[in-house]
Amino acid sequence: GAADIEPGQEMEFIASLMQDPNSFMYMIGKAYPPAILATLGLTAGGLAQGAGALAHLALNGAALGGVVLAGKRLFMDGYYNKSASASKKNVKPLEEAVKTHSVYQSVYLLDQRLVLRTPVYLFNCVGTIVIIPVLLVLLPLFTGEMDLGMMRLLYLQFYDYFPIGVGAAFILMAALNPTQSTTFSREGQASWLQGVIPLKKSDLFIGKLIFPLVLQLAVIIVLAIAFALLFLMSPLSIAGGLLIGIFGSLPVIAFGLYIDRLRPKLNWDNPQKAVKQNLNVIFNMLAGLVWVVLTCVGGGALIHFFDFSPLWITLIIVVVSLIAFIGLYQMFLKINEAK
């Protein structure tokens, strides 16, 4: 790429571009891969031209269809409340119309539908955890702005510490996600229903835990694949990072549920205020950052000063995370009792 040109080699680089007609295409294709298909569809001859044009049209058609479908399912249906309207043409027997779910399942489904069908919540809770991994890892990876050789050397030099670093990156994503720290605030004035409906505190906690945990697992999978490609990590290192990331995220998510149950922001006239003007998001983020620092410093110190193996470090972090998670769960139950 142009960033790799050594001083004094500019003319040779320009000459190579002029000799190879596909050079510009591949340079642009690093930032926007479909551009390669579009170029082949316009300039290539024979079957390659037709295949490139068809592939480009199919890719754009699929993307457009996905956007339209997502907009219809997630926005329009929620805006017009079609799911709640009665239709005389689609009358079902009571046994078919009523689906029985466990209590925590019902809490989870209600929370999920509220987020997915409210554009403000969808962007802030789901959109941010999609954008951040793309900006931090995937975009530099696919545009060629990262030196993969240097990344590999960095991994080999700090092999024992890498599972901690990867796991800490996963935990950081949980800290940046406002889903758990606004879960009760998003209900607004409708939160009084929880006091009317008989609901166990444990079911409420588990139901509210599931949706942010599902989002976190999705982010972890995407980032794990990106890190594996970026650093050429061994399966053992990836497994260690996954365990640290998954179990280490549990206390962060639980703290978000706890703090939003302790002091929910229920008085708002705009859904944006439930998320963007909610101090619970900041508190959850700060607590998550502290947890990330403790994980990195504690795990690194055990390796550096006491020569612990990565396996033992992973097990210790998992156990400590579970203890912290259980403690926050008990604190959550006591808040409910006080209320």
| Distance from C-alpha of 118 to C-alpha of 114, rounded to nearest angstrom | 6
Q: Looking at the structure, do residues 187 and 68 belong to the same domain, yes or no?
A: no
190, amino acid identity: A
223, amino acid identity: L
Q: Looking at the structure, do residues 85 and 229 belong to the same domain, yes or no?
A: no
Q: Looking at the structure, do residues 29 and 137 belong to the same domain, yes or no?
A: no
pLDDT recorded at residue 192 = 56
pLDDT recorded at residue 60 = 75
pLDDT recorded at residue 199 = 77
Q: For 232, left (φ over 0), alpha (ψ -120 to 50), or beta? A: left
Q: How far is CA 133 from CA 138, 207, 220, 221, 246, in A?
A: 6, 26, 10, 11, 16
How many other CB atoms sit within 10 Å of the CB of residue 18? Answer: 8
Q: Looking at the structure, do residues 330 and 222 belong to the same domain, yes or no?
A: yes
pLDDT recorded at residue 44 = 58
Q: Looking at the structure, do residues 36 and 165 belong to the same domain, yes or no?
A: no
pTM of whole model > 0.75? no
328, amino acid identity: L
Of 62, 79, 95, the domain-final residue: 95
Q: Looking at the structure, do residues 114 and 189 belong to the same domain, yes or no?
A: yes
Torsion of CA 61, 67, 70, 75, to 10 degrees: -140
Q: 261 and 328 in contact (C-beta within 8 Å)? A: no
Which pLDDT tens digits describe the chain residue by residue (339 residues)?
444 556 666 566 655 654 555 555 555 555 556 666 666 666 655 655 566 667 767 777 777 777 777 666 665 555 555 444 444 445 555 445 445 668 888 889 988 998 888 888 888 888 877 777 777 666 666 666 666 778 888 889 899 999 999 999 999 999 999 999 999 998 887 665 665 566 788 899 999 999 999 999 999 998 898 888 888 889 999 999 999 999 999 999 999 999 999 999 888 888 888 888 899 999 999 999 999 999 999 999 999 999 999 999 999 999 999 999 999 999 999 986 544
Torsion of CA 71, 77, 80, 83, to 10 degrees: -170
Q: Looking at the structure, do residues 91 and 8 belong to the same domain, yes or no?
A: yes
Alpha helices in the chain (DSSP H): 10-19, 23-31, 34-43, 47-70, 77-80, 94-97, 103-116, 119-121, 128-133, 139-143, 148-157, 162-176, 193-196, 201-231, 235-262, 271-276, 279-306, 310-338
Q: How far is CA 85 from CA 74, 106, 119, in A?
A: 16, 20, 20
Residues present in the chain in total: 339
Q: Looking at the structure, do residues 141 and 47 belong to the same domain, yes or no?
A: no
Containing structural domain, residue 38: 2-95
pLDDT recorded at residue 82 = 44
Q: Looking at the structure, do residues 170 and 237 belong to the same domain, yes or no?
A: yes
- The DSSP call for residue 74 is I
Q: Looking at the structure, do residues 209 and 120 belong to the same domain, yes or no?
A: yes
Number of domains in the chain: 2
How many other CB atoms sit within 10 Å of the CB of residue 94? Answer: 6
pLDDT recorded at residue 126 = 85
